Amino acid sequence: RVPFDGTAHQVREKVLNEPLPAVGDFRPDVPPELADVVATATARDPADRFPGMAALADALNDFLRTEQRPNRKPPGWVWWLV
């Protein structure tokens, strides 16, 4: 599913004027911690984003370390992060 729908003009206006929908709106099974990482990575204001790819990678690795428990396979959606 795309974050915005409508005609090309409507999508353009939404991209320019509306916040990006939260990942949880599309995938309620995504943990809030991962949704926070996605929200930071896709923030409209660059000052609100990660300062660089290393910081994003660190945030994703932190999430994966806390999400994975011994003797427990992570949910299927985690594998697209690896």
- Residue tagged 């943990």 (tokens): 31
Task: Report whether 32 contacts 25 (CB < 8 A).
Answer: no
Task: Report whether 4 contacts 11 (CB < 8 A).
Answer: yes
Amino acid at 23: V
Q: Is the pLDDT of residue 31 over 80?
A: yes
CA distance 44 to 6: 21
Mean pLDDT, rounded, of the chain: 85
Confidence of residue 52 (pLDDT cuts 50, 70, 90): very high
SS3 16: helix
Two structure tokens written together for 9: 């003009």
Question: For helices 53-67 and 32-41, what crossing angle results, to 10°?
Answer: 170
Task: Return the pLDDT at 67.
Answer: 74
SS3 21: coil
Over residues 20-40, mean pLDDT: 91
